[in-house]
Structure 1
Amino acid sequence: MLNSFRRLSNSKIGLVALAIVGAMIGLGFVMMDMQNITGGMGGTTGDTVAKVGRQRIGYVELQDRVRRAFEAARQQQPELTMADFVRQGSVDQILQQLADGAALEQFAKQQGFGVSRKMEDAQIASAPAFRGLNGRFDQSAFEAFLYRQRVSEKQVRADLARDLYLTQLLVPVTGASLAPATLTLPYASMLLEQRSGRAQLVPVSAMKAPPPSDAELQAYYRKNIARYTTPERRVARYALIDRADFEAAAHPSEAEIAQAYEAKKADYAPKETRTITQVILPSEAAARDLAAKVSAGTSMAEAARAAGLESVTLNDQTRDAYAGVSSPAIAAAVFSTPQGKVAAPARSGLGWHVVRVDSITAVPGKTLDQVRGELTEQLKKAKSDQTLADAIAKIEDSIADGSTFDEVVAAAKLKPVTTPALLKDGRNPDAPDAPVAPELAAVMKSAFGMESGDDPVTEQVVPDKLFAVVKTDSVVPPTPRPLASIRDKVAADFAAERALAASRQTADAIAAKLNAGTPLAQAVNAAGTSLPAAAALGGRRGELLRDGAQPQPQMEALFALTRGKARVVEAPDKSGWYVVTLDDVIAGNAASQPQLIEATRVQFSPVLGQEYGQQLATAARKAVGVEINPAAVARLKAELIGGAGGR
């Protein structure tokens, strides 16, 4: 890896890496937390995809890990497909992660490392997901987790044991590395390196390309026919169903408002909430002792810590809500205790509760007049929701019974619309500047999902507000635009492409002369065309990607050249080609800039630590032996791509 880093100055990737000095290189595995504890628990049933020492990695295990990783990646990239995920090398990477983990675990055992059951217990007990209301490990929560994940405690402990072996091996290796100044100084100095040169633009506009002949134009048109083909279009018929049309008739009556108030009278009645702090203890004696200490002035948190527990604060509890997490009797006692006092200890299924009432908040009730507006809006929404849903259901039932689009629209008294032949996004290629109606994106999405003989469907245009009845009327297949109708455009495209090629040819000729030792001015004069003056280039390597900006291709070429040589790069806007020459290099020296050296050391040290970790993983693989079954891996890749349906 370090040899690769030394070659960074001669590549585009190197410029990026040197600018950030310390991009992390993953080991291929990460320590799991309890939220992802089942990540490596696949069985070894089915075909074996790899043998690592005495352990086999099963086909089903690898398949499960790949699917889990894919779903996690989809959270960040919703458009990612399984086919793309597999083609990116993810299966091989995940298999290496599994093999590295298994190899390191066995290697650790060979070196005398050990993991006790107490160490596993500590990991399980410290997981927040397994704590109860008293802040301590809750066996029932742990068992519920096992049930939900459909794994056994043995599997969880096996995975935790591997984690603990990896931690013992890797943390000292990857976390304690410190890059020496003799190593970081050259890389810090590279950031200070200065270069100067010139960029000679050979613009497309300077090229004198002859116009195409009719035969050339015909050939170019045929070669690029896809560029001049209008994609498939469809003619759709649709009618909008607007929620606003149902709202006018959805205004509730006074009787309905009064009835709604009565139904929610408990919500509007006066109520009291309390903020409480509690500790749950295993015995009555311990509870009474803690309650006495708190009543004498000790804080709940301090008294709980003295007992080896943690207190829990529950904010704004109603009596019913608190009864649900304790018991009705305990809630009654707590809600009859004055503010600042401790309720008498009482027992629930969780243990003995010691509860201090921190604060009491009285919430006044509300009259019908006070909530009339609120209830009116709620009822209005509910009634319009129902009438809209009924209308859509009636339309869908009518379609299911065989009604045509025209019959459905007429029965519902909707206004039908017929579109011109449109693309999938609603645009009309025959009128590219025409505005696209907001509903057309949803309408055409439906239209492209059915054929012209299919029944109409209902489509949501704006969630809960606007719907449409849609039918595909006709399909217009992809159609090449006749050359006669676009002759000028095809000729312009041909001329632009020919001029860009001529520009490249001229730039290549200039670069060849420069690389042979010809001075720039002489090489440009030999080009036989008038070119603009060469622009001066210059800068410091560390400035290339300042603030994350993308460097200009001319500057990238400047820092990839050797002195006296030239390179051709395309202008970003395709306006021509640059011939870049390097005239001078002033080496950087960071010896007098200790802050830069230290910053480089801090960023470089993790890279060095990860390098050590990779080397340790490689050594472990060699020590225990790793055999991959290429046929099984290839079969899994084919199954994932073929069976994913693109997703």
Structure 2
Amino acid sequence: MITLFRSFFQSKLGIGITLAFLGLIALAFASSDVANTGTFGGVAGGETVAEVGGTSIDTAELRSTVETAYNNERSQNPDLTMTQFIEEGGLERVLDVLIQGAALVEYGEKHGIVISKRLIDSEIASDSNFAGLDGNFSEAAYASALRQIGLSDSMYRARLRQSLVANQLLAPAFIGSAFSENMAVRYAGALRETRKGKVVSLPSALFAPDKDPTKKQLDEFYASNRDRFTIPERRVIRYVEFDASSLKDIPAPTAAEIRARYERDADQYRASESRSLTQLIAPTEQGAKAILAKVRNGQSLAAAAEGTGLSPSDLETERADYAEASNAAVAKAAFEAARGKTVGPLRSPLGWHIVTVDAINSTPARSLADVRDEIVATLAEEKKREAVNQFAEDVEDGFASGSTLAEVASELGAEVKRTGPALSDGRIYNTPDSVPEILNPVLSTVAVMEEDSDPILAEVVPGEKFLIFDVAEFTSAAPPPIADVKEQVTAAWRLERGSVAAKAAADKIMKAVRGGKDLDAALRSLEKKLPPIEMVDIPRSALTANSERVPPPIALMFVMAKDTIKKLAAPLNVGWFVVQLDDIVPADTKRDDPEVATFRTNLGRGAGQEYAEQIDNAIEAEIGVTRNENAIRAVIEQLSGSGR
């Protein structure tokens, strides 16, 4: 449904409008139970960290959501610790988003924005995460998904309602936002300018001391940099794997059950019609009429909207759903028009609609005989799912009553297996091996388990392959004795000393150049065999031409003034760069350049995002937000002290 954090946290609202808030992240990343109202490490689960109007955000919700965000980040960076995540602002960003979501819902309720049960039902039914084997919505799949992430139906619906309210409130900020042509021309010119200069590399290794450090120097360096040598936490995973054949006595669907399901889902099998539509929503009737006139003259909606800051969207919808998303009048016109026709402008609460009918998709009614095999397969899958759910409950009850993993394995006729000490990414510590492939889907869950955690039942292949697993041994992250890493510590000490000397050399070069000396002459005065000077002649557009990270010295060059020189540290003490910018060559951009219109549209969208952020700020100010800094600090202390 949503993959959120890395892109979301680039701004308060994320890229564009992020329509789902952190409660929905659970569908993408399995998390701990956000309904937990117990205590953790001395912090009461019900203590409030923020009051947003009449809504409270408690410590349990903040902690579990931070855990979700942290686990997601750690899937990309296995060595990330919770302390680092918090220090880099992760918890504050999570709390900001929770506050934002609560404020939007409070504001929506205050001003009569209502999300109907039918709309929420429709969103759930159309979510592929809840599809059964036939591709349609499955109650069993829905229940299983929520059970795995620890959310009840009502909790999930509340989160979904929150995201839909956000859509209603913030989407209009993007409609019609546009930049002037003059600004677009200047922006296009700036993107096409070329910069010329030089980059000098000063590797720390060339400036590092030749002698080994004394024992005192090495001990002092290690004491100040222990975190750099920390061995990540390790877990020995104990697990049992089995398949669906181990679940006995699953009854086949009966004729009565098949007929009852057909009658229950009669609407699904009736004749129906959906339409493929292209829709554009303009903020004013005049603007909509101008666009429609271009369409009448043969242009596509996309072409007609160029330069307005608007863009059409494609829809596949039925009449009732479309009416709820717009209104009855817009839906009537769109569903009574012939294929290929464009209707509008038609007004709804969202603006003025222009709609093209691209295709009409009619589905004939299907009899029980037509769908019998489909229903049988669905019922069989549901019965198997029910058996799995019952088995899971029995297993959990058994563990709660003192049963062991070995006893459950014996009942299943399966073997209890163990891994070596595994890192969070599945590698076995201090070996070239990794955990068995079957464990890969549960590694993110294992990464938050402790040695005394109850075993967990997981479906590796839905309805087919299962795991029961726990953590047999847990070793906290900690720096090793210096003797175990003396070689690495010595190398790091040399690099640090070399980095200090390289920085001094960079300062000497810059002083000489600023005093009128030629760069080559300044380098020769160092009496070091340095890498060749890198000559740079590059347009700004090259920085965004591919997805690779722009080298920091090049990025620095594009924020420097002409005829200046600056230094830049390389990461991990590996050296320093000296960057000299010799010339800035502006581009000659004309108003009729085709890319100006593209830049204008993109800038308009960026402006729309800023408008949405300002709306959110105003909403939070109106609703009122009170933070409990003591409770927030307590959550930070507990998370940081969890050993992760």
Q: What is the TM-score when the length of structure 2 is the normalising length?
A: 0.50
Query: Which structure: larger Rg?
Result: 1
Q: How high is the TM-score relative to the length of structure 1?
A: 0.49
